Amino acid sequence: MGPKYTELTGTGHRRPVPEGRWRDAELDVTSPTAVAALVERERPGAVIYTAYDKSSREITVDGAVAAARAAARAGARFVFVSTDLVFDGGRGNYTEDDAVRPIMPYGMLKFEAEGLVKVAYGEALIVRPALLVGEWGRFQRPAYECEALAAGQPLTLYPDEWRSPVGVDDVAHAIWDLVCTEAEGVVHLGGPERMTRVELGRRVCRMYGYDAALIREAPRPPERPRDVSLRSLRAAALIGWAPAPVGSHALAAAGA
């Protein structure tokens, strides 16, 4: 294992940084000058780029490249957090060696960012988590399901779209463990279960006590990938990645 990092700085701009064991710093990632200045001031051993906006190339792509360049100048590790939606969903169970062909605009932005990050920092680590489930600060994930269910609104989910959902905390711990290795290139972080969005929606209802009767089933829109489930063999080899099924701890505590 590589070095351990003990001092943390968390950045936020449109949203405040959740409380935690880190220093808060306001940062507009669309400003390469601001990104470079923060990295120069903090002199980090590692930079982890999680910022994204599904409709903003400046945040999702340009900000990631600026952070990668700043990390390279500082001699810091760099981790870019991508997505399972870089795949077209034609077959599922994707490995890091499979061809990347995004069909959704968000996946296209992340794919572009992956390529440019590699150019900016050849030793960068690119992490592709599956669909995130769990609580982060005051937010619940997956947002599409949780926002509607929390508001008591009917929710349309797809029995013909498959993902390998994974816990937010599991991914956070895995990224930390990966930072402390010398790994570079692409690493997948998928959960142990391949399930449809309908199955996931029902799981989320059991986790948070939402009304599963709000769920409606309908075929997925054609612009959505059918199956972007992931295999995570590299993470298993590097850090012993073996996440629990999403919601298993909460369900066990509730006696489900």
Q: In what order do the strands lie in the sheet with 139-141?
A: 139-141, 132-136, 166-167
Measure the CA–CA gap between 52 and 82, rounded to whole angstroms: 9
Residue that wins the pLDDT comparison between 182 and 251: 182
Strand partners, 81: 127
Read out DSSP for 67-86?
A: HHHHHHHHT-EEEEE--GGG
Q: Any idea which of 69-83, 136-150, 174-188, 227-241 has the lowest mean pLDDT?
A: 136-150
Domain ranges of the chain: 9-253
The partner residues of 11 in beta bridges, in order of sequence, read 25
Q: Looking at the domain 9-253, which fold is it?
A: Rossmann fold (3.40.50)
Where does 31-170 show beta strands of DSSP type E?
Answer: 46-49, 77-81, 125-129, 132-136, 139-141, 155-157, 162-163, 166-167
d(CA 219, CA 205): 20
Q: Check pLDDT > 60 for residue 163.
A: yes
Contacts of 94 (CB under 8 A, 6+ apart): 84, 87, 188, 228, 229, 230, 231
pTM score, whole prediction:
0.91
Alpha carbon 184 to its chain's center:
17
Six-digit token string for 76? 């810091």
State yes or no: pLDDT of 112 exceeds 60.
Answer: yes
pLDDT of residue 251: 53
Residue type, 4: K
**What average pLDDT does range 209-220 have in this prediction?**
97
